[in-house]
Amino acid sequence: MKVIVPVKRVPDTAGEKNIDPNDKTVDRDGIESVLCPINEFSIEEAVRLKESQGAEVKVLLMGPESAQPIVRKALSYGLDSAVQITDDAVAGSDAIGTAKAIAAALKNEEFDLVIFGNQATDARTCVVPAAVAEILGLPSLTYARHLEVDGDKVVVHREHEEGYDVVESTLPAIVSVVEAINEPRYPSFKGIMAAKSKPLDVKSAADIGLDTSEVGMANANAVITEFEHRPPKEAGTIVEDDGSGATAAQLADWMQSKKFV
Amino acid sequence: MGELLVLIDHAEGQPRKLSLQMLTAANQVASQTGDTVSAVWLGEGASGAADVLGRHGATKLYAWDSPDALGYVTLPQVEALQQVMETSGAEILFFASTNLIKDVAARLAIRVDGGVITDATGVEVADGRIVATKEIFGGELITKCTFADGRKQIVGISNNAFAAEETGGGAAEVVNLDVSLSEAATAAKVTNVEKQVTSDRPDIAEAAVVVAGGRGLGDEQGFELMEQLADVLGAGVGASRAATDAGWYPHRYQIGQTGRTVSPMLYIGSGISGAIQHRAGMQTSQNIIAINKDGEAPIFSIADFGIVGDLYTVVPKLIEELQARKG
Ligand SMILES: Cc1cc2nc3c(=O)[nH]c(=O)nc-3n(C[C@H](O)[C@H](O)[C@H](O)COP(=O)(O)OP(=O)(O)OC[C@H]3O[C@@H](n4cnc5c(N)ncnc54)[C@H](O)[C@@H]3O)c2cc1C
Ligand SMILES: Cc1cc2nc3c(=O)[nH]c(=O)nc-3n(C[C@H](O)[C@H](O)[C@H](O)COP(=O)(O)OP(=O)(O)OC[C@H]3O[C@@H](n4cnc5c(N)ncnc54)[C@H](O)[C@@H]3O)c2cc1C
């Protein structure tokens, strides 16, 4: 069985985040970038399929040359090889453009299962996995909190606000996973060393047959036009409890003054 | 003059609160574009909702009252919506920015050549196009997003960004849909639905008040205390990742960067330090209360009211106080 894990490079949540005032894209220069944390769960799920079913697992990343360390990081968990789509023509793509580029890359690959994270921690739109599935004419079983592959069938528990739906379909299929699905392991030293020499195929839009009039900033269906930083918050009331719980009455007063009681 | 569509999210025959809020948002937009507002109900129980949807400003109700709508994964809803968009000529569709419906929006966008903007907290119209407000990076930045010319505009609305208002309209005119599904649409089926909501407590994304607990609770029983506090306030209960990781509360109640975003009128965090990844999911709450025994905890920097103290002393007293005041 063949599995592909698309991954994304995102700004570290703990660090500085900004939008470039000129092109309104995420300012990725001079900030800490990381492998999207949710990809640790999609990678773990793929590694488990490698262990249990002998799956062959490939990483797919769309990103500029400078995103290469993220690909190596993904490989260090024990995945087999990688494809990176690098082309200035895809820079600034919106969610739909991103889906088009990833789908084009997938058309060049053989796979039974594609495992996305349910969202990337930067834009958090969640729409890319299903849009990719639509372009490829495949089922989208997203938000998996449990995933089982049995022969040519996949069963997924899709997490939602009220519980989960058990769904099934035949392979090939596109899935995305939520954090609840597993506990990611850390890459081993051996894994980190091996990742340096694993095959990485860097491809341009032309290499994957991607029509560049469908992607990139100029062809985005949705664009950011303006942004501002949230004004800083005024300091609140902080009281220290003396161990008697007497502050609870003060809090209740405050809540009453705000009409929450 | 055209139609602006609102995809109604519903459960047990009732539209969710967000659906009525979306109708209000749609009416605000429609008054500028000159459109009328039409609701779309996919799944059973449509006609029973014509009245409430009409009262909130839906003139028409496109109804596909069939178990097939939700009996398969995503595509039946996409195909029904595609049909409504094509026959009505609608350019704009509002949807609830929730897990499973985002998939419907994504697949629909590909079919109708649309853009998708998710999690909008405000909508305006400029040059005939929707301009959506989006709070990004956990609310650190506030952006305006819009669509390219000639593209269908598919807009996901966030919970509680609009107050649902009645417009004084009568029942919506029901237009029954006849959808014949493609073979692909029935390829992935729903074999079981597990409801895990254990009470009638509101969901954290919808609730006006959210009570959240963290590692400071110390154990699973701590969440019983959180639930008691929530029940006095009619609140939903959420958790930090430390608490969901420990198995004290289900994952889908996790608030934060990799959990859910909540934006209630009031958030009360107990035993939560306020790590940046947690704040990313709650710092747009209108009022924030923090109870933590560590005065240096970062959550105090965004708290409107903070108590430095032991939650096991403060919270039971708070419950008593609130009960007394409720009379
Ligand atoms: C917080 C946030 C919310 C957003 N919400 C939405 C939304 O609701 N709907 C929507 O459609 N869009 C959304 N977007 C995308 C948005 O509309 C713009 O298109 C966006 O500003 C461009 O995305 P970016 O900043 O990630 O751009 P970029 O940094 O250019 O990244 C876009 C993608 O292109 C890749 N890329 C960049 N350069 C290259 C290169 N040389 N080779 C290969 N790949 C490359 C990146 O890795 C990334 O995957 C959102 C973006 C952000 C930051
Ligand atoms: C990639 C990534 C994604 C993440 N995503 C999320 C996310 O979505 N949501 C999330 O919440 N976290 C997330 N985290 C984890 C986050 O970094 C923190 O570890 C987590 O939020 C801590 O949870 P906590 O505040 O409950 O626990 P702690 O940080 O351990 O804080 C416990 C607090 O309880 C206080 N306390 C202890 N006992 C008492 C008592 N008796 N009375 C009062 N106070 C007491 C302590 O003073 C302390 O401040 C993420 C981390 C990473 C790396």
How confident is the model over A176-228, as pLDDT tens digits? 999 999 999 999 999 999 999 999 999 999 999 999 999 999 999 999 999 99
Q: What's the B204 CA to ligand 1 centre distance in angstroms?
A: 29
Interface test with B, best of A12, A13, A36 (most B CBs within 10 A): A13
Distance from CA of B191 to the nearest CA of A (A): 6
Angular region, A16: left φ>0, alpha ψ -120 to 50, beta rest: beta
Residues of B in contact with A217 (CB under 8 A): none
The answer as to whether A257 is a domain residue is no
The answer as to whether A255 is a domain residue is no
pLDDT at res. B73 = 97
pLDDT at res. A180 = 93
pLDDT mean over A82-89 = 98
pLDDT at res. A15 = 82
Distance from CA of B19 to the nearest CA of A (A): 15
Q: Is the model's pLDDT at A88 over the cut of 90?
A: yes
Q: Which atom of ligand 2 is nearest to the CA of B291?
A: 43
How confident is the model over A125-137, as pLDDT tens digits? 999 999 999 999 9
Mutate to test the pocket of ligand 2, among B137, B210, B262, B273 (most ligand atoms within 8 A of CB): B273
Q: Is the model's pLDDT at A63 over the cut of 70?
A: yes
B202 lines ligand 2 (CB under 6 A): no
Dmax over CA atoms of chain A, in Å, equals 70
Q: Is the model's pLDDT at A30 over the cut of 80?
A: no
pLDDT at res. B198 = 63
Q: Is the model's pLDDT at A244 over the cut of 70?
A: yes
Mean of pLDDT over chain A: 95
The answer as to whether A132 is a domain residue is yes
Contact residues for B310 (Cβ-Cβ < 8 A; gap 6+): A241, A243, B293
Looking at chain A, the whole-number percentage of residues with pLDDT higher than 70 is: 100
d(CA A47, CA A41): 10
Q: Is the model's pLDDT at A29 over the cut of 80?
A: no
d(CA B128, CA B2): 12
Give the domain CATH number at A171: 3.40.50.620
The answer as to whether A236 is a domain residue is no
- Determine which helix (DSSP H) or strand (DSSP E) holds A174, and give its type and residue range: strand A173-177
The answer as to whether A27 is a domain residue is yes
In chain B, residues 283-302 whose CB comes closer than 8 Å to chain A: 287-289, 295, 300, 302
pLDDT at res. B137 = 85
B308 lines ligand 2 (CB under 6 A): no
What is the extent of the structural domain holding A64?
Answer: 2-219
Proximal ligand: closest to the CA of B279: 2
Nearest 5 degrees, angle CA B144-CA B281-CA A254? 105
pLDDT in single tens digits along all 327 residues of chain B: 799 999 999 998 999 999 999 999 999 999 999 999 999 999 999 989 999 999 999 999 999 999 999 999 999 999 999 999 999 999 999 999 999 999 999 999 999 999 999 999 999 999 999 999 999 888 889 999 999 999 999 999 999 999 999 999 999 999 999 999 999 999 999 999 988 776 678 999 989 999 999 999 999 999 999 999 999 999 999 999 999 999 999 999 999 998 999 999 999 999 999 999 999 999 999 999 999 999 999 999 999 999 999 999 999 999 999 999 987
- Say whether B196 and A162 touch across the interface (CB within 8 A): yes
Residue type, B73: V
pLDDT grade, residue A18 (50/70/90)? confident
pLDDT at res. A161 = 85
The answer as to whether A126 is a domain residue is yes
Q: Are A199 and A82 in contact (CB under 8 A)?
A: yes
A166 to chain B: closest CA residue? B192
The answer as to whether A238 is a domain residue is no
What is the Cα gyration radius of chain A? 22
User: Which domains, from first to last, does chain B contain?
Assistant: 3-186 (3.40.50.620), 209-326 (3.40.50.1220)
pLDDT grade, residue A77 (50/70/90)? very high
pLDDT at res. A21 = 85
pLDDT at res. B88 = 97
Proximal ligand: closest to the CA of B157: 1
Residue located nearest, by CA, to atom 14 of ligand 1: A94
Which one is predicted more confidently, B290 or A31?
Answer: B290
pLDDT at res. B153 = 98
What is the number of structural domains in chain A?
1
The answer as to whether A65 is a domain residue is yes
Interface test with B, best of A41, A138, A175, A260 (most B CBs within 10 A): A260
